[in-house]
Amino acid sequence: MFLSFPYSLSFVLILLSCFNLSDALHYYSTPGQKKCFFEELPADTLVVTKFDAAIYNDETKSFDHPDNLVLALTVDETFDNNHRVVSQKSKSDSEFTFTSTDSGEHKFCLTPQYPKKDQRIRILLDMAIGYSAAVDSKKTDDVNWLTSRIHDLNGKVEEIQREQQLIREREALFRDQSESTNSRVVKWSIIQLAVLIIVGYFQLKHLKSFFVKQKIV
């Protein structure tokens, strides 16, 4: 049964809202050059931004991450006279997490800082917004937590197996002791019964000879 058009459209919109809202870009800059981009954010929305700044090394023909290369990040609320809500400096390869307080347009600005002003800097930027951002930011922690939990559970399972093996060994020992005790009890009972029979026989024989001597029988 097919859904009518309004319901189908609503269903599609709900599905689209479940996907990760992510923006990824890269650009080249120089030390001190500010680059800004804008995002319309609802209130109480998590934003996870991962950035990677690197300087091209002509000798190695590769991009390096020197320790003295940092990124200055600012976040302004353009709907509130560019009210600055974030201002921080981070390593060239790091992650920034931000939660909006009010809904509206936000301006994110990145400014690379490096002692040599003539360097060409490549900046990779990946931004995730909303619920999926929370999942992505916590993915590593969740994996580490699950790994730790699995190790703990494996340890507990091994401990339970050791306790079960010890219980089985104790049960086997107790069973052997019980069988041995029961066997000795049966043997001792047979011996006692045999002794009683022998004693009774000799007592009857003695009484018979006594009665014969006394001429009672």
- Please indicate, yes or no, if residue 44 is contained in any of the structural domains: yes
Do 113 and 45 belong to one domain? yes
In a domain, 15, yes or no: no
Bridge partners (DSSP) listed for residue 46: 99
Domain identity same for 53 and 114: yes
Domain that holds residue 185: 138-217
Q: Are strands 83-91 and 35-41 parallel, antiparallel or unpaired?
A: unpaired
- Per-residue confidence (pLDDT) for residue 131, from 0 to 100: 52
In a shared domain, residues 96 and 181: no
Q: For the chain, where are the E strands, in sequence order?
A: 21-29, 35-41, 46-57, 62-64, 70-77, 83-91, 93-99, 104-113, 121-129
Among 19, 172, 115, CA closest to 164:
172
Let me know whether 191 and 95 are in one domain. Answer: no
Q: In whole angstroms, what is the distance from residue 156 CA to residue 190 CA?
A: 50
Q: Tell whether 107 and 143 lie within a shared domain.
A: no
| Per-residue confidence in pLDDT tens, the chain, 217 aa | 433 333 343 433 333 343 344 456 888 888 999 999 898 888 888 888 888 888 888 788 788 888 889 999 999 999 989 999 989 888 888 888 888 888 889 999 999 999 888 888 888 888 887 655 555 544 555 556 667 777 778 878 888 888 888 898 889 888 888 888 888 888 888 988 888 888 888 888 777 777 777 666 5
Residue 81, pLDDT score: 92
Distance CA(148)–CA(143), nearest Å, equals: 8
Instruction: Please give the tally of structural domains in the chain.
Output: 2
Same domain membership, residue 187 and residue 162: yes
Q: Are 142 and 72 part of one and the same domain? A: no
Q: What is the pTM of this model?
A: 0.50
User: Quick one: 83 and 123 in the same domain?
Assistant: yes
Q: Tell whether 12 is covered by a domain.
A: no
Q: Indicate whether 78 belongs to any domain.
A: yes
Helices (H) and strands (E) in the chain, counts: 2, 9
Confidence (pLDDT) at 216? 63
What integer pLDDT is reported at residue 100 of this predicted model? Answer: 87
Residue 60 lies inside a defined structural domain of this protein: yes
**Residues 143, 108 share a domain:** no
Same domain, 123 and 147: no
Q: Which of 3, 213, 4, 25 is nearest to 126 (CA)?
A: 25
Task: Establish how many alpha carbons lie within 13 A of residue 158's alpha carbon, considering only the half-sphere containing its beta carbon.
Answer: 6
The whole-number pLDDT of residue 76 equals: 94
In terms of domains, do 106 and 155 share one? no
Looking at 109, 129, 149, the residue that finishes a domain is 129
